[in-house]
Amino acid sequence: MDLSNVMQPGDRASDPDWEMGLRLLAVQRRRRLAFAVRLAAVWLALVAALAFVLLQLNVDPLYAVDHSAFVLQGVLTTIGVSMASISVATVLALLGALGKLSRSSIAQGIAGFYVSLIRGTPLLIQIYLIYLGLPQIGQQFANRGMPGIGGMLTLNAIQSGILALSVNYGAYMTEIFRAGIQSIGHGQREAAKSIGMGEWHILRRVILPQAVRVIIPDIGNQFIAMQKDSSLVSIMGIWEITYRANRLARKDIKFMEMFLLAAAIYWFMTIVSSWAEGWLERRLSHAYER
């Protein structure tokens, strides 16, 4: 077929209505810009309203500013604990999801029990059990002539915190991973089987790379939640944001100031996290865009 006289879309030279296209595009751009401006205005108004309300509180904003350096030193601790925990939680969640999807009754049983037990109990209690309880179990091992295991079960505050957050979030993320893995069409698994791939290869080369893309936004969400939940580890004396804000507040009885400061820091961190998550998401979906 001769295509030379068929009009191609977006062909400036041969399209007599080219001007119309340009006008429509301009209108579209203007609308988009106007929307962005209105959106920014709403945000600004809300921020201003929030600031106004906060200023009605009996607070001394300058106090918070003056003491922010000390609290900000906790940011690295909070991020470090959260990053380590989300990583370990990811391992646990993957294992949990594989267990739940497994045909083995043992694996399914263990995974189901893990998720049910951990989701059914408060994080704070899990932290106490790991920090206080594990060493006592370790003591029993030590008493039976296994001091190595005893020492291994006596975790310091940071390790206990990371373990508790990991175990806790691993349980929630198990369901995310399960759903993510199941969201990959059955045809993918069949195609992989048809070229003779084994279960492990199918999972690692075909299912997970695709599931990760589905899961990343949810992991990002969990990471944001975790940054805030990580404040619970302060009970073990870890000097993260909440601990520093709280203990500093006691010195001069400036609770509201320091809590607002901590809240602002957390908020900023989560904004950065969701931005990073969006960036990662876009990178991963590269192969899926035309």
CB 150 within 8 A of CB 139: yes
Stretch that binds other proteins, among 38-46, 185-193, 220-228, 257-265 (CB under 8 A): 185-193
Per-residue x/- track, 118-147, other proteins (CB under 8 A): -------------xx--xx-xx--x-----
- What minimum distance in Å lies between the beta carbon of 85 and other proteins? 9
By C-beta, is 15 or 179 nearer to other proteins? 179
The residue type found at 7 is M
Using CA atoms, how far apart are residues 57 and 260, in angstroms rounded to an integer? 11
Handedness of CA 271, 274, 280, 283 (dihedral sign): negative
203 vs 56, 100, 180, 208, 217, CA distance in Å?
A: 56, 14, 12, 6, 20
Q: How far is the CB of 112 from other proteins (least distance, A)?
A: 22
Binder among 54, 107, 206, 263 for other proteins (CB under 8 A): 206
Contacts of 99 (CB under 8 A, 6+ apart): 107, 108, 110, 111, 112, 114
Name the segment binding other proteins (CB under 8 A); options: 5-13, 104-112, 232-240, 264-272. Answer: 232-240
In the bound state with other proteins, the residue whose beta carbon lies nearer, of 25 and 281, is 281
Q: How many residues bind other proteins (CB under 8 A)?
A: 70
Q: Determine, following the binding rule CB under 8 A, whether residue 104 of this chain makes contact with other proteins.
A: no
Binding part of the chain for other proteins, among 7-15, 19-27, 252-260, 269-277 by CB under 8 A, reads 252-260
Task: Compute the distance between CA of residue 219 and CA of residue 31 in angstroms, rounded to an integer.
Answer: 34
The CA-atom distances, in angstroms, between 100 and each of 27, 97, 115, 244 are: 52, 5, 10, 40
Q: How many CB atoms lie within 10 A of CB 220?
A: 20
Nearest to 173 by CA among 218, 214, 130, 210: 218
Q: Which is nearer to other proteins, 175 or 255 (CB)?
A: 255
Rounded to a whole number of angstroms, the minimum distance from the CB of residue 245 to other proteins is 11
Choose one: 21-29, 49-57, 115-123, 247-255; the region binding other proteins (CB under 8 A): 247-255
- Contact between 290 and other proteins by CB under 8 A: the answer reads yes
Asked if 153 and 186 touch (Cβ cutoff 8 Å), the reply is no
Examine residue 252 and tell whether it contacts other proteins (CB under 8 A). Answer: yes
Q: Name the DSSP letter for residue 120.
A: T
Distance between CA atoms of residues 116 and 112, nearest Å: 6
Residues forming the site for other proteins (CB under 8 A): 67, 69-70, 84, 87-88, 90-91, 94, 131-132, 135-136, 138-139, 142, 148, 151-152, 154-159, 162-163, 185, 187-188, 190-198, 201, 204-206, 208-210, 212-213, 234-237, 239, 243-244, 246-248, 250-253, 255, 283-284, 286-290
